[in-house]
């Protein structure tokens, strides 16, 4: 089965540079989520999009912006990179109305991609 695709898988940048991370959701998934996992840390929710509109926002720095395009892929743009931005960035996708069995009701599971490892030097 197709999974969430993230590119690039690894990225090395210098301080104050910009970076763009891309996420391609599972086909027919309409919602995309971004998470940041620092070294030795738990993942932190950054932002999500449903049908190209921002649906929820977490602890995303003002230096970061994101959008979802008409083909549902999403891009996370990061400017003025800092050393502390070094992390694993996960994208996840879901289908808003996925039903997982008759006894579970409606539930839109988030399927995680493999992550993009960003290193800021």
Other C-beta atoms lying within 10 Å of the C-beta of residue 26: 17
For the bound state, the minimum distance from the C-beta of residue 16 to other proteins, rounded and expressed in Å, comes to: 27
Considering the complex, state which of residue 15 and residue 38 has its C-beta at the smaller distance from other proteins: 38
Considering the complex, state which of residue 4 and residue 19 has its C-beta at the smaller distance from other proteins: 4
- Give the residue, chosen from 28, 51, 58, 69, that forms a contact with other proteins under the rule CB under 8 A: 58
Q: What is the 3-state secondary structure (H, E, C) of the chain?
A: CCCCEEECCEEEECCCCCEEEEEECCCCCCEEEEEEECCCCCCEEEEEEECCEEEEECCCCCCEEEEECCCCCEEEEECCCCHHHCEEEEEEEECCCCECCCCCCECCCCEECCCEEEEEC
Stretch that binds other proteins, among 12-20, 60-68, 71-79, 111-119 (CB under 8 A): 111-119
Q: Show contacts with other proteins in window 64-103 (CB under 8 A).
A: 88, 90, 92
Interacting residues toward other proteins by CB under 8 A = 31, 33, 35, 41-45, 48, 50, 55-56, 58, 88, 90, 92, 104-105, 107, 109-110, 112, 114-115, 117
């Amino acid at each position: 089965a197709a999974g969430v695709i993230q590119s690039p898988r690894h990225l090395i940048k210098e301080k104050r540079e910009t970076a763009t991370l891309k996420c391609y959701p599972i086909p027919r998934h309409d919602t995309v989520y971004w998470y940041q996992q620092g070294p030795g840390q738990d993942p932190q929710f950054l932002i999500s999009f449903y049908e190209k509109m921002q649906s929820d926002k977490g602890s995303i720095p003002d230096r970061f912006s994101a959008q979802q395009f008409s083909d549902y892929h999403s891009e996370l743009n990061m400017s003025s990179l800092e050393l502390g931005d070094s992390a694993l960035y996960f994208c996840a996708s879901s289908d808003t109305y996925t039903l997982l069995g008759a006894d579970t009701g409606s539930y839109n599971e988030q399927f995680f991609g493999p992550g993009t490892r960003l290193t800021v030097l």
